[in-house]
Amino acid sequence: MRLTNTLSGAIETFRPLEDGRIGIYVCGVTPYEESHFGHAQYAIIFDAFIRYLRWDGAPGGGSEVTYVSNYTDIDDKVIDRAAELGRDPLDLVNDQIALWEQQQRALNLQEPDVRPRVTEHIETIVEAIERIIEAGYGYATAAGDVYYRVRAMADYGKLSHRNIEELRAGTRGEPGEGKEFPLDFALWKAMKPGEPNWPSPWGAGRPGWHIECSAMSQRYLGPSFDIHGGGADLVFPHHENEVAQAEAVSGPGSFAQIWLHNGLVQRDGEKMSKSIGNVVTVREALETWRPDALRLFVLEGHYRRPNNLTDEAMAAAGRGLDRLLAAVRDEGAGAGPASSAGPAERARFVEALEDDFSTPRALAAVFDLARTINRERDAGTDVRPAQAVLRELTGVLGLTLDATDAGEDGLNAVALSKLAARHEVACGGSDAETTIEALLARRQQAREERDFALADAIRADLADAGIEVEDTPRGARWSAAR
RNA sequence: GGCCACGUAGCCAAGUGGUAAGGCAGGGGUCUGCAAAACCCUUAUCGUCGGUUCGAUUCCGACCGUGGCCUCCA
């Protein structure tokens, strides 16, 4: 597999440190407020990536993947937000983590194998800081802060492709109290009154932002591991500092072998930010669009490129999803010969993903397969083998192709029973599905009597109630519109 | 200001030194009582200007534009 490595800036052939086993760490969220579309995007991308690595259809038959993704559950933002809300910081993050995990399930995101939290790894972090100090790359101040000595790291800046002079020119503001050098960053922050704190050799305090990720990734994946991922906005300073911290102790080139960064989400061509007021939360996204449509939208772009979220693009993704749903519909058992479609598309799919995880190209193969299935089905071919391949490939990308995604629980039972009454249909119970079936039976009867006015009226009424009716050779099919 | 990406049809988005995947939308058909879905056909000289080359959208340069980062945003 070839992947763009931020470290080298080039596409490299990825070889795991240990054959058949892959360790990957992805920077997770800081759960101080609701997650937004960008979080869904990074999570979807890495979810699909890991599903692919594990897939037995990947070259080599799939790998055993250890996926670690953290929660930064204590930092300035958490403390500030908790103070604003007058809440305990830990309560706040617990609530936000619970919400995010619920949303992750809604988005069909696989759970990471390990979800380390900073507050549960203070000892690991303190030990990591001690080793950095021992190696000569860290120093404590009289105030009880500990800083990383950036100038001690010869190749500082190698990940983000900058040098210390450049960075120094860009620094704004004051050097900071007790720092030897303006670019030095905090490994440990001395406690301030009222803030959560833990004991350490340098006095009570809490970890700096970057140390947690290098300490926890190495804790679970070893000093050297395969892949470290995250949003492109984390390259500097976060990931740069992680590299500096880790390699100060474990040596140059020892940390993550490949750095993968996903492009950021824009909203209508603009940066999504609170100051612009155009942030789309995951909650809003899930209320507006189907999970599979969201995933399709994300994966229709290449992971490294910025992705522009627009209503139009989302609508297009939704229609594309409908197309895939139509192809896997349970009407594939034609009387004719079995379809031979699938293997060629599968090969294209693999080829695309092997080439820097090109999900757009992989999806093109999937859509081509969908077209072939539809065409062959129309011709009476038994397309079930091809449908199985389509389901397999989309499953690798994490699409569920679950038609009930549209939310039948959202059906308006009251409106439906009124309809049933208007068309003089006995609907039995209040069950929405039963009512719809009864209405469709009434409509079918009308059609057989050539009473198309009534048939069309029923269809129109159902459409008003959010039910779309389509006639097929095998009877009417309905679905909840969205 | 510095560093780094990117700029492909109405929209989204792949890709290649030899005249450009896929999705959505549009137009024309087939099918259908009608519709929907599906299927078939159809819609681009790849930001601008130079250069290298037999030939560039693909390589190089400049310019314009968009985006990211420049100490705590996935």
Q: Which nucleotide is nearest to A179 (CA to C1')?
A: B71
Q: CA-to-CA distance for A271 and A278, rounded, in angstroms?
A: 8
Q: In what order do the strands lie in the sheet with A138-140?
A: A138-140, A146-148, A185-190, A205-207
Average pLDDT rounded to a whole number, residues A176-196? 88
Instruction: Please work out, in degrees rounded to the nearest 5, the angle formed at the alpha carbon of residue A409 by the alpha carbons of A109 and A97.
Output: 35
Q: What is the pLDDT of residues A403-423, one digit of tens each?
A: 765 554 556 667 777 777 787
Helices (H), A328-358: 343-354
Q: What is the mean pLDDT of chain A?
A: 89
Q: Residue A462: its pLDDT value, please?
A: 87
Q: Is the pLDDT of residue A428 over 70?
A: no
Q: Residue A404: its pLDDT value, please?
A: 67
- pLDDT above 90 coverage of chain A, percent: 67
Indicate the pLDDT class of residue A290, thresholds 50, 70 and 90. very high
Q: Residue A465: its pLDDT value, please?
A: 81
Q: Is the pLDDT of residue A222 over 70?
A: yes
Q: What is the pLDDT of residues A70-104, one digit of tens each?
A: 999 999 999 999 999 999 999 999 999 999 999 99
Q: Residue A415: its pLDDT value, please?
A: 74
Q: Which nucleotides of B are covered by protein (CB under 7 A)?
A: 1-6, 11-15, 21-25, 32-40, 66-74
Q: Which of residues 242-261 of A touch strand B (CB under 7 A)?
A: none
The interface predicted TM-score (ipTM) is 0.92
Indicate the pLDDT class of residue A385, thresholds 50, 70 and 90. very high
Q: Which of residues 35-54 of A touch strand B (CB under 7 A)?
A: 36, 38-39, 41-42
Does residue A192 lie within 7 Å of nucleic acid chain B, judged by its CB?
A: no
Domains in chain A, CATH or no CATH each: 2-271 (3.40.50.620), 289-406 (1.20.120.640), 408-480 (no CATH)
Q: CA-to-CA distance for A137 and A153, rounded, in angstroms?
A: 7
Indicate the pLDDT class of residue A430, thresholds 50, 70 and 90. low
Average pLDDT rounded to a whole number, residues A307-332? 89
The CA–C1' separation of A361 and B16, in angstroms, is 14
Q: Is the pLDDT of residue A452 over 80?
A: yes
Q: Which nucleotide is nearest to A308 (CA to C1')?
A: B12
Q: Residue A175: its pLDDT value, please?
A: 54
Q: Which nucleotide is nearest to A356 (CA to C1')?
A: B14
Q: Which of residues 290-329 of A touch strand B (CB under 7 A)?
A: 300-302, 304-308, 310, 312-313, 315-317, 319-320, 322-323, 326
Q: Residue A482: its pLDDT value, please?
A: 61
Residue A335 CA from chain centroid, whole number: 41
Cβ neighbours for A446, distance < 8 A, ≥ 6 positions apart:
A452, A454, A455, A458
Does residue A466 lie within 7 Å of nucleic acid chain B, judged by its CB?
A: no
Instruction: Please work out, in degrees rounded to the nearest 5, the angle formed at the alpha carbon of residue A350 by the alpha carbons of A376 and A40.
Output: 100
Does residue A34 lie within 7 Å of nucleic acid chain B, judged by its CB?
A: no
Helix, strand, coil percentages (3-state) for chain A, rounded to 5, are 50, 15, 35
Does residue A353 lie within 7 Å of nucleic acid chain B, judged by its CB?
A: no
Assess whether the previous peptide bond of A291 is cis (omega < 30° from 0). no
Q: Which nucleotide is nearest to A304 (CA to C1')?
A: B5
What is chain A's alpha carbon radius of gyration, rounded to the nearest angstrom?
Answer: 27
Segment (H or E) for A227: strand A225-231
Residue A376 in contact with residue A386, Cβ under 8 Å?
yes
- pLDDT above 70 coverage of chain A, percent: 94
Does residue A361 lie within 7 Å of nucleic acid chain B, judged by its CB?
A: yes
Q: Which nucleotide is nearest to A40 (CA to C1')?
A: B74
Q: CA-to-CA distance for A74 and A193, rounded, in angstroms?
A: 15
Q: What is the pLDDT of residues A107-126, one digit of tens each?
A: 999 999 999 999 999 999 99
Q: Is the pLDDT of residue A446 over 70?
A: yes
Q: What is the DSSP string of A119-143?
A: GG-HHHHHHHHHHHHHTTSEEE-TT
Q: What is the pLDDT of residues A465-476, one digit of tens each?
A: 888 899 987 788
Average pLDDT rounded to a whole number, residues A382-401? 95
